[in-house]
Each structure stands twice: as structure tokens, then as C-alpha cells.
Amino acid sequence: MSSDRFIKERKNAWQRLEDLLKLLDRSALRRLHREEVRELGRIYRRTSSDLAIARAESRDPRLVNYLNSLVIRAHGRIYRADAAEGRHRARRFFARDFPSVFRRTWRYTALSFGVFLLFGALSFAGTWRDAEFSELAGVPPFERQTILEKKPRWWENLNEANQIGATFIATNNIQVTFFAFAYGALLGLGTLYVMVVNGASIGSVLALTYRAGYGHELVTFMAGHGVIELTCIFIAGGAGLLFGTAILFPGDISRFDNLRLRGREAIQLVVGCVPLLAVAGLIEGFISPAAIPPAMKFSVAGMTGVALYSYLLLAGRGSETRA
């Protein structure tokens, strides 16, 4: 094919690509109509192919330069727009979607919290009456003995390597959160098991430290990071129960559709907890074990609690009203 014929057959598409790029210069990709976005992608791929043909057949260097410039402009605008759209979706998710889903599904989170609290209280009472009861709560005998003998506080070791400790803690918390959610696939029973085990274990350890005379030190250590950390575990437990009940009680729609809808909400809850758990890990690694007055640690607990629940209960309400 001659150069003139090649240009004649393709120039309308190139001109259309230029027009679409000019539209993008004045607005964002999401402001274009759906058909315009599809057309942009189609013409961009076709122009890239034209550039390859022009280079392979050694056509007019001015044509090669023109097509190369056009393709570079289109590539930059398309992928920069994709990145901007991704940032916009992330902002929208944390500013509106995550707290909105939390409010819609709060009953499942409350049930998760209730199970944790019930078995935590029972385990605390049982261990307070008889230290050996802690074995039923999953505390090994050697660990019970270490706690009762007032051996060096295990949380103080975090001060020796805060960075490593904070990273390990955040990773472990995220792992527990995902387990609480994932076990919901076992008809919700797996999630209940995770809540029971964690509640019983914490309740038993608290009782052992109070029997040994330093329970207030453990509570002071837990206060700073505990509000965020435990809230996230309860939310993840609620997500697991949400998923499990979607299987058991599909309601008026098909089980598959119910799983798809509730599963999406459950995943949103878990994903929203990840950055919160990272913050809890930083507090647990740097503030909770630090040799600072207990009042400061409880102040951190109060401030994080107010900030977290203000966010969960209030963020995105304006968007819900407009919707």
C-alpha cells in the first residue's frame, strides 16, 4: 500500500483520536460518555498498530513521528486517567463505602462482639476461681506458670525492636482478621469458633495476671491499641457471619445472588479493616509498651476510640441521604 493511500484511509481515525484527547485535556476520563471511552480505547489500539506498520515499512519519517507522538499522548492520558480513577475509587471507598457497609451490617458485628464478650467473661470468671481452668481456654500450663510467677512482662520486649515488632503485630492482626472472615464459609460456625477462642484466651490471661497482682499493667498495655484492634476483629467476625448466613438464609432471592451481594459487603468490611490494623500495630509497637504514664496510654485509647467510631458512624452519611 502506498504512503498516500495509507494516510488517506487512516487519517480520519487519527483525527478522531486527537479530538478525544482534546476532550480529555479539558476533563477527566470518567466525564466522557461510555461510548467515547470505548472508542478511545479502540482507536488507540488501532493507531498503535498503524505506528508499527509505518515503522516496519519505513514510510515517511514525519508520519512515524506524528503517530509516535499521538500514541504517546494517548497512552499517557489513558493510563494516567486509570490511575486517577483508581485513587478516586479508593478515596470513595474509605470516605463512604466502608463506613456505610459497617452501619448496614452492624448487627453482625454486634453478634460477633457479644460472643467474644460472653466467653471472655466466662473464661475470666472460671480462671479467677481456679487457675487451672485456663487450660480449657487454651492457655498452656507452662504459660500459666510463667504468668503466675510474675516473670518479665512479655510486652516489654517490644521496646527492644519496635519496628520489627510493629510489623509482626500488624501482620498477625491482619491474619487473625482474615481467618475470622474466611471461616465464615463454614456456615458461620468457623467465625463463631474464632470469636470464642480469642475471647476465652484473652479473658483467661487477664484473670491470671490479676491473680498474680499485675493485671492493671496488662490492661494499661492493651488500652492504647486495643480499641482499634478489637473493633477490627469484631468487624471481621461480623463479615464472616454475614457470609455464613448468606448460605444458610438466602431469603427471597437465590442463594447464589445472596452470596454475591453479601459476599461483596463482607469483603468490603475486611478490606476496610486492613489500614486500621496497620495503625493498631504501630500503636502496639511504639506506644503501648513504652515507659510512659498510664494516663497517656488511656488518652490514646480514648482519642482513637472517638476518632474510629465517629468515622464509622458518621462518614458518608451525606451521600446516603442524597442516594
Which amino acid would we find at residue 155? W
- pLDDT for the residue numbered 268: 93
In 10 A of CB 199, how many CB atoms? Answer: 26
- pLDDT for the residue numbered 83: 56
Separation between Cα atoms, residue 143 and residue 140, nearest integer Å: 5
By C-alpha distance, which of 288, 114, 140, 285 is closest to 201? 140
Contact between 269 and 192 under an 8 Å Cβ cutoff? The reply is no
Contact between 270 and 177 under an 8 Å Cβ cutoff? The reply is yes
The three three-digit cell numbers of residue 244, written as one number: 455464613
Separation between Cα atoms, residue 311 and residue 298, nearest integer Å: 20
58: left (phi over 0), alpha (psi -120 to 50) or beta: left
Handedness of CA 185, 189, 192, 198 (dihedral sign): negative
pLDDT in tens, the chain (323 residues): 567 788 888 888 888 888 888 877 766 555 667 777 788 888 888 888 888 888 887 667 888 888 888 888 888 777 765 555 667 788 889 999 999 999 999 999 999 999 999 999 999 999 999 999 999 998 999 888 888 887 767 667 766 666 666 677 777 778 888 888 888 888 889 999 999 999 999 999 999 999 999 999 999 999 999 999 999 999 999 999 998 888 888 777 777 788 888 888 999 999 999 999 989 988 988 888 888 999 999 999 999 999 999 999 999 887 655 54
Separation between Cα atoms, residue 294 and residue 221, nearest integer Å: 8
- pLDDT for the residue numbered 249: 82
- pLDDT for the residue numbered 31: 61
Separation between Cα atoms, residue 102 and residue 83, nearest integer Å: 27
- pLDDT for the residue numbered 166: 66
DSSP secondary structure of 165-196: HHHHHHHHHHHHHHHHHHGGGTTTHHHHHHHH
Query: What Å distances lie between residue 87 and 37, 82, 91, CA to CA?
Result: 19, 9, 6
For the chain, the structural domain boundaries read 3-95, 105-322
* Helix (H/G/I), strand (E/B), else coil: 249: coil
* Helix (H/G/I), strand (E/B), else coil: 223: helix
Where helices occur in the chain by DSSP H, the ranges are 3-26, 34-56, 61-92, 98-104, 106-129, 141-148, 162-182, 189-212, 215-248, 255-286, 294-314, 317-322
Contact between 304 and 228 under an 8 Å Cβ cutoff? The reply is yes
- pLDDT for the residue numbered 250: 75
The pTM score is: 0.73
